[in-house]
Structure 1
Amino acid sequence: MTSVLHNPSTMIDRLIAFFNARDVETHVVGGMVRDRLLGRNSEVGDIDLAIKGDAVALGRELAEELGGSLAPLSVPRGMMRVALPPSGQGDEGDGSNGTIIDLSGYSGDIESDLARRDFTINAMAIPLREWQGDEFSGAVLDPFGGRRDLIIKAIRALNPDVFEEDPGRLLRAVRLSGELGMRIEPDTVRLLMSNAELVRRVSPDRVRDEFLKILAPQGARGRIEALDQLGMLKHIIPELMAAKGVDQPRMHYWDVWGHTLHTVQAAEGVTGGHQNSPVYFCVPWTPDSEAYFAEVVSDGHTRRTILKLAALFHDIAKPQTKTLEPDGRTRFFGHSEQGAEVAERRLTELRLSNRGVDMVSGMVLHHLRPTGMSNDGEWPTDRAIYRYFRDTGGVAVDTLFLCLADYLGAKGPELSHPEWLEHAKMISHVLFTGTREPVAANTARLVSGHDLMSRFQLQPGSHIGFLLETIEEARAAGEIETQEQALELAAATIESQGYSRDGSRASSV
C-alpha cells in the first residue's frame, strides 16, 4: 500500500495527513508552541503531540509509516517516541539529527493533558490542523496563563508536585531560563530549592543532556551559579563544592571557586572572536577558528561547549593538593593529574561519550603545559611545541584556548594589558607553529626502525622508538632534512645515551 505520507512536502503536512486519515484529535503542544509564539521558528526537529487515543498503537503505526523507530517514554502515562533518521542520502557523518516526534495520549480533553505538564509556558496547545494557518495565534489553547508568562518572561511551575512527578524538570527550569532569557518566578524558585535533592533520581543520561544544554549558550557562568544556589550542582559535580573558600597565590584575584567560574566565562570570550574588544582582540583568531570550535564532537555538542566543561574541571583537584611551603608560597602540586582523574571518573558516571571524556580529561591534564613550555621568558622552542602537539593530540588547540581562559580567569579586574598581550602572543606562536603543515606529514620517515637496526647492529626494543622520535623532533624543528643527517643524529644519540645492542644502558653511563 502506498503511504499517504509520501506526498506532503513538510513533516507537519505528513502528520496532518496521517491523523486526519484516522480521524484522531491531535494538538501540537509544549515547546514547539512556546517557541512559535516567541518567534523562534527554527527548523522542525522535535515535535510534541497530544493525541486523543492510544499513543502506543498510533505510535507504532506512525513509526511504520514514516520508516522510524518506536520507543516508550512512559507507557503508564501513554507517552511514546518516534525517532526518524536524518534526511538525505550518504554517510557523511556530519552529526545531523533526525526528527523526534513525542506522542502523549489522553482520554478526556486536551486540558487534562496540558495539566500534566511542567511550566505554564509549556502548557499551551494548537490543533495540528491549524498549525500551518496564518491565524494560528488565535487557535492557541492556554488554560494556565502561558502567554502571559511569555510576555512577562517568567518560568512558573504548573503545580507544587511538578518536580516530584519528574525530577528532570529541575534541570529543565534552569536550562529554559538560560535559553529563553527568562526569570524563574519566586514560588518556583522555592519549589526548586526544596526539591533539589531529587536531581539524584534523574538518570545520568538525562543529567548529561540537560547539563550540557545549560553549559552551551552564552552566559554559562550565571547558570552554573544558579544551579549552585538552588542546591543542585552539589548533586551533579560534588567535587566542585570543595573549591569554595580555597585561597590562591596573589597572582589570582579569586579563590578556586570564583576562578573556576570566571574561567568558564572567559572560555566563552576567547572562543567568540575579536568582538571589537581590546582584550579579545589579542586572541589568535582566524577565519577557520569559528568552524573549529563549532565542530560537533561529543553528545551533539561542540568543541566550544566541551572547552567550557574542561574549564569547569580544570582546577577541581586544587583543594586536596594545596600545600603551604616553608617560604610561605602556596602550591598545588599534582592538581592537573588528579584533576584529570576526577574529570574522567565524574564524566564517565554522567555517561559523556568516550571522546568527550578523553577531551576534557586531556585538557585538564595539560592545561598548565603551554605556559610551562616557556623558559626564562623565552618563547617555546620548535622542539617543545612539537612535543606538546604530539602529547596533547586532538585537544592541542583546545588546550591553548583553555590556557588563555585560565589566564583571564586568574587576573580578573587586575588584568595588566601589556602582560596579557605578551601571554597571548606566546600562545599564538605555539598555535601557529604547531598547526603549520609539517614536512613530515606528507612524506615518509627519513629512516625506518629497520634502517637503524641494520646500520647500528641494534636489536628491537623501545630504544628504537626513542631514536625515531628524536629524529622526528629534530626534523619538525627544521634541524635535519636528509637521511644522512638523521643517521648522524641517531649515532650521536646512541653514544650520548650509552645504548648497547639490545637497548640497555652501558654500566658506565
Structure 2
Amino acid sequence: MEPILPRRPLHWHPAVEALRDTLAVHSEVYLVGGTVRDAYLHRPTRDIDLVTPGDGRPLARSIANAFSGSYYSLDAERGVGRAIIPWEGNRLVLDVAQFRGPDLETDLLHRDFTINAMAVPLMGDLTGVIDPLGGLRDLELNRLRRCSPESIPSDPIRALRAIRASVAHGLQVEPDTKADLRAAAPRLQAVSPERVRDELFHILDTRDPSAALRALYQLGLLQAVLPEVAGLDSIKQGSPHIFDVWHHTLETVSHLDVLLRVMRGERSDELTDNMPIGAAVFAFVDLRPRIGAELSIEWPQERSHHALLLLGALMHDAAKSVTRTEAEDGRVHFFRHDLIGAGWIHARAKHLHLSNDEADRLQTIVRNHMRPHWLNNDTLTPSGIYRYWRDTGSAGVDICFQAMADYLGMVANTLDQAAWVHYLETVRTLLEHYFFRYDSAIDPPPLVSGRDLIEQFGIEPGPAIGAILEALREAQVEQRIKTKQDALDFAQHVLEEASHNHNQ
C-alpha cells in the first residue's frame, strides 16, 4: 500500500518528532487510528497510537525509558504496551500494538470505522496517508462509516463509540452503519460492565453530551446500558414542566454541562451568551475559584467528576417511570421518585463497577436533588441550611448546580427572570455558608459531649444520646444556645418534653 497525499497538511503532536529519534532503529512503525485522524483534522490529542509487526511492548518500554515515564503491559496476548510520559507539563499516553493480522492492511481492515483505519509511517516524511478504506474521503464528507459488515457485530461496544465519534467530529452516520448500530443494542448486554462504563464516561465528557445521549436513545443503545431510562419519553409531566421526562432530562444534562464548564473557568461566548448562564456567572463570580476546585476532583482511573455529575443528571428523574400519579384535579405527582431513584442509581453504579465513593456520591445527589427547590420555595433558615449540608456533605455543591440545571430544564423558554434571580440568591446563600461559615453554621464545635449528657442526666448510651446531640447542634446554629450551660439547659428541656410525651 502506497501512501496518498491528503488535501490538507497533517498537523502532528510535537512528541511525534521525538518518537522518530527514539525509535530510529525500528524501521516499520506506523502512526494509526485517531492519531492520524486528529492530525488531519488539526485537533489536539492526548494520546498517540502506534502499530508494528512484532510485539509492541518492548517499543512501549523503550519509549517510557527514553522519556522517564511509566510502562504498562496492556495485553500480552495481542502484544500491546503503554507508555505514559511527561510532556510540557502534562501527561501523554502512547500505546504500541502488534498488527491485528499478518500485515498493516489486515490490521486496518479489522478496525471499527474508516476514519480510524488510516496509517502513516513514523519513519517516513509524515505527509502521506495509507488509507485502504477511504477514511480521508469520509472525513471530507463528514461521514462516519464502518470498515466492514463485521465491524460492529464483532464488538458491540463500537456502537457506543460510533455515537461519540459522530458527535465529537460532527459526522453523519451513514445508513448501513446506523442499521448496524441499532442491531447492536441487544448485544451490549454481553459486553463487560467496565467497557460500557468507560465508554459511557467518555460520551458524557464530549462537548455536546445531550446530543450524544439523544442519538443513543433514538437507536435503543442507551436503554440497553441504562435500562432505567427506557420509556421516559412517554411520561408526561404537569406545570411548570413543559417537556416529558426524557426531554426534560436532556435539557437538564445540557444546562448542567454548561454550568459546570463555566464554573470551572472555561471562557466562551457560546457558554455565557444566554441570560440564565450569564446571570449565574455574575451571581457566583467571587465564588468561582472555590466552586471550580470542588468540581475538578478526579475519580479512579481518571474518571472525571464532570461525567459523574452528568450521569447523576441523566438518571435523576428515572424513577418517575414508576411513581407517576394523577390527582382528581388533574395535577401530576411523582411522590418519592427521588428516594427510589437514589436506590436505582446506586445499584447501577455498582453494576458498572464504579467505586463505592462514586456510587455513594451519585446516590446522595439523586436522593437530594429536590432539596434546593424546596428551600427556594420556603424561607431559608439557619436550620434549613444546616440540615441541607448535614445530609449532603460535599455533594451539596454538586446538588446546587444539578438543581439549577433541573430548574432551567423544567421551565426552558418560559423562564421568569426575577424567579431565576431569586433561585440564584438561594443557591448563593447555601454556598456562602459552605465556603465561608462552615465552622459556625454547618459543623460548629460541640458545646457538650455524649459523656457530658450521660454524667449530667444519667442517660444510658444509645440512640437517645445522638438525638439530643443533633437537637443541640440545630439549636446552636440557630444561635439559641451559645454556652455549655445553655446546652445543658436545652438538653434538660428536651428530656422533660420527651418524658411528658411518653407518659401521655
TM-score category (smaller protein): 0.7 to 0.9
Tell me how large the CA RMSD over aligned residues is.
Answer: 2.9
By how many angstroms is 1:343 displaced?
Answer: 0.9
- Contact (CA 8 Å) 1:28, 1:127: kept in 2 or not? yes
Q: Report the counterpart of residue 5 of structure 2 in structure 1.
A: none
Aligned partners of 1:279 and 1:106: how far apart in 2? 51
User: Is 1:252 equivalent to 2:241 in the alignment?
Assistant: yes
**Which of 276, 280, 288 is the aligned partner of 2:277?**
280
Aligned twin of 2:309: 307
Residue 208 of structure 2 corresponds to 219
Q: CA offset at residue 336 of structure 1?
A: 0.8
**Distance (Å, rounded) in 2 between the aligned partners of 1:307 and 1:106:** 37
Aligned to 1:5: none
C-alpha separation in 2, matches of 1:52 and 1:429: 62
Other structure's SS at 1:267 match? helix
Contact 2:189 2:224 in 1 (8 A): yes
Given the superposition, is the C-alpha separation of residues 487 and 26 from structure 1 closer, same or farther in structure 2, using an over 3 Å criterion? same
Task: Determine the C-alpha separation between the residues in 1 that align with 2:194 and 2:455.
Answer: 54
- CA deviation after TM superposition for structure 1 residue 57, in Å: 7.1
Q: Which residue of 1 aligns with 2:299?
A: 297
CA distance in 2, matches of 1:202, 1:507: 57
Q: Which stretches in structure 2 are left out of the alignment for 5+ residues?
A: 1-13, 263-270
SS at match of 1:144: coil
- For the 8 Å contact 1:53–1:106, the answer to whether it is kept is no
Would the aligned equivalents of 1:383 and 1:476 in 2 still touch at CA under 8 Å? yes
**Aligned residue pair count:** 475
Distance 1:342 1:205, change over 3 A: same
Aligned to 1:433: 433
State the distance in 2 between where 1:298 and 1:383 align: 35
> What's the CA shift for 1:170?
1.0
SS in 2 for 1:68: strand
Question: What is residue 486 of structure 1 aligned with on the other side?
Answer: 487
Contact 1:439 1:476 in 2 (8 A): no
* 1:70 aligned residue: 73
Deviation at 1:249, TM superposition (A): 1.5
- Cα separation, partners in 2 of 1:368 and 1:98, compared to 1, 3 Å: same
2:159 maps to a residue whose letter is L
Deviation sequence 1:348-383 (CA, Å, 0-9, x none): 212222222212121111111222235xx5422111
TM-score w.r.t. structure 1 length?
0.84
Q: Name which of 207, 228, 233 aligns with 2:222.
A: 233
State the match for 2:398 in structure 1.
Answer: 398
User: Contact conserved, 1:120 with 1:155, CA < 8 A, in 2?
Assistant: yes
- Are the aligned partners of 1:379 and 1:426 in contact in 2 as well (CA < 8 Å)? no
Query: Which residue is equivalent to 2:6?
Result: none
Match of 2:4 in 1: none
| Counterpart Cα distance in 1 of 2:354 and 2:54 | 37
Partner Cα distance (2:55, 2:274) in 1: 57
Alpha carbons 1:163, 1:195 under 8 Å: kept:
yes
**Matching residue of 1:148:** 137
What secondary structure does 2:234 align onto?
coil
What's 2:109 paired with? 115
- Which residue, out of 35, 38, 45, partners 1:35? 38
Contact preservation (8 Å) 1:296, 1:302? yes
What is the DSSP-based 3-state SS (H/G/I as helix, E as strand, rest coil) of the residue aligned with 2:469? helix
Structure 1 residue 292 displacement after superposition:
2.9
What's the counterpart of residue 52 of structure 2? Answer: 51
Q: CA deviation at 1:161?
A: 1.2
Q: TM-score, normalised by structure 2?
A: 0.85
Aligned to 2:331: 329
| Preserved CA contact (<8 Å) 1:292 1:303 | no
The CA deviation at 1:139 is: 3.2
Deviation per CA, 1:231-268: give whole Å up to 9, x if none. Answer: 21121111211322111112210111221111111212
Tell whether the 8 Å contact from 1:336 to 1:364 is kept in structure 2 after alignment.
Answer: yes
Q: What runs of 5+ residues in structure 1 fail to find an aligned partner?
A: 1-9, 90-95, 499-504
Percent identity, aligned pairs only, is 33
Q: CA deviation at 1:83?
A: 5.2
Question: In 2, are the aligned partners of 1:85 and 1:97 still within 8 Å (CA)?
Answer: yes
Contact 1:363 1:399 in 2 (8 A): yes
The AA in structure 1 aligned to 2:40 is: L
